[in-house]
Structure 1
């Protein structure tokens, strides 16, 4: 009978330990999920900022080239041609 009681106490101790570990891991998982969400949000903001700054840089490059103070006239002409093609596509779609 005493072996059975010892086995039950041992089982209870192990069960309490497992429950304690489960609660700890559950809390840790919530913290990590929150942290991951926060980092993903920061990454998205940084990516948007990078895209905006690249756009501003391209516009500045075009403005400098048009102003005549840059040697990237070929790049500017290509960009202008690309913009003209995009505008033409939009006009064609509007006429359809």
Structure 2
């Protein structure tokens, strides 16, 4: 323990007072004995207060650490729950995307088949659609030939 700390100074004062008390007792000086005894009691009180403060600090630290551990556990369980919910929502989203793509494909097929069933005024629209399809097929063949 460093010599400049309050603890070391108090310890030194108590030892000094003890020696002076013993000398005063030997010389039968009661006033001096009372003075040194009172000083020793005061210093002992300071030690007890220091010890109590340290114990209080330790208890306070233990309490804060236990609160921190409790909060960590709570946050960890919340995080686990949120990750689980995130995974479920991601799976639902993927399922919805697949379903949407499937429905879009069915819609396009239905739209194409309705175009082919053209009657009366829809014949012109059917011819335009068939020409578009033929052009798309020609582009695909051209790409395959490259």
Please tell me the TM-score bracket, short chain as reference.
Answer: 0.7 to 0.9
Q: Which has the higher contact order (CA 8 A, sep 6+)?
A: 2
Could you say which residue in structure 2 is the equivalent of 1:53?
103
* TM-score where L is the length of structure 2: 0.55
Which consecutive unaligned segments of at least 5 residues does structure 2 have? 1-50
Give the Cα separation in 2 of the matches to 1:52 and 1:74: 25
Q: Of the candidates 29, 37, 47, which is equivalent to residue 79 of structure 2?
A: 29
Structure 1 position 10 matched with structure 2 position 66: no
Larger deviation: 29-38 or 72-81?
Answer: 72-81
Q: Which has the larger Rg?
A: 2
Structure 1 position 77 matched with structure 2 position 128: yes
Q: CA RMSD in A?
A: 2.6
How far the C-alpha of 1:47 sits from its partner, in A, is 1.5
Give the Cα separation in 2 of the matches to 1:48 and 1:76: 32
